[in-house]
Structure 1
Amino acid sequence: MKRILYPTVLFAFLGCCTLYGCGNASDKGKGAQGGQRQIGQYVVNPDVDNPSVYLTLVESHETDSSVVYTGKSLHGQDTIGLEIEVIKSIPAGLLADGNPDNEGGFTPGAIKFRSLGAESDNFVHALGALYKIPAQRSMTDDTILPLVFSSNRKEVDLGNNGTYTFKLFLDNAAGSEAEVFAVLDLYKRLFELRAKDTTHYERIVSAFEGE
């Protein structure tokens, strides 16, 4: 299926990130320089419609072609987390005039999610609680490989403290692709996920369960 992204959708997402997403999480990502960073609650604003979920990037290591981040946060007293692998040099998805590059802006598997075990099972259960959708299963042991659209005017540079936005399309067993907005903030060391809208909640939980 050919996907066409429209500027109004992308700009609306960027505006939401600026207003309440990235900004309100600023204190959550701060920690001591070096070592493991302090983590906070995974939802900063639970009372807003369609809240964002945040993971603090507590650790990272490089491969030849990617950077692998360990993202963690708290759901009450439980630690939740994911392994998030991001390939290096993801090409820009926005043209110079700000319009989406519907031909070259999509990269399959540019961001990958893997289970950390019990902490990732907690992540799935926390999503289910947030979305009011029972999540009885654990996170899938398979690597989750969404189709990734880069909502950026420049190539992603994982060596700098930049902030990069993406739209993810995740396969699932509950319906058509789950659509999720993501932000990789390397300055605040945060990874943010937010559903396109509430109709995608069930499909997002299904995608992480692998069911």
Structure 2
Amino acid sequence: MAFCNSCGATLDTGAKFCNKCGTTQPGAAAASVTPVLTPASPQKSSSALKIILIVVAAIIVLGILGIGAVSFIGYRIAKRSRIHNENGNVRVETPFGTMDTSTDPDEAARNLGIDLYPGAEVVKGTTSNMTMGAMHTATADFETGDPVSAVSEFYKSRLPNANVVSTSGDRYAIISTDKKNMLTINIEPKDGKTRIHIARVSGKMMNGGDSDN
């Protein structure tokens, strides 16, 4: 119920004038308007993109630094290394040790520490004699026209306690180990001949033994 602001008389609902004194009445209050909240636009992912770019840049920089470090170390090693070549026998001296290659079968036999198969010829470019600290490694390949079976029997007689593995009936691996040495002999047919690969590793790393060289 409404009342006149001037005389206090009762007003009809929605009346604009007082029936008693004729005073104009103020209009009805405007309906309240609920404010529309405009959701804030999501922030752009620029910060995340910046982080990703920073990480990528850091990886690239570390990669460049790593390549530079490896190149520098390689340069220092190469600068301190010496290569000697005499009649096909090559000797490489590095800060970590030495490596020799030779075409002399007698020298290869001395380094390998085992008899060579009679008549076998050393394969050019396959001999290696390397010393790194307390470790010594010698390898060489030989060829013979004799069958694989004859060669395998020869080395089995020289190494009666060795482990022998045969595959396909014409490939043999003979492995002999002790506190000072590990000797491996692989025998297989190749290009109509029998190929003999001999490798010997010796030194303090072999089961705590001492080098015999």
User: Could you state the TM-score of these two structures normalised by the residue count of structure 2?
Assistant: 0.28
Structure (1 or 2) with the larger CA radius of gyration: 2
User: Could you state the TM-score of these two structures normalised by the residue count of structure 1?
Assistant: 0.29
Structure ranking higher in helix proportion: 2
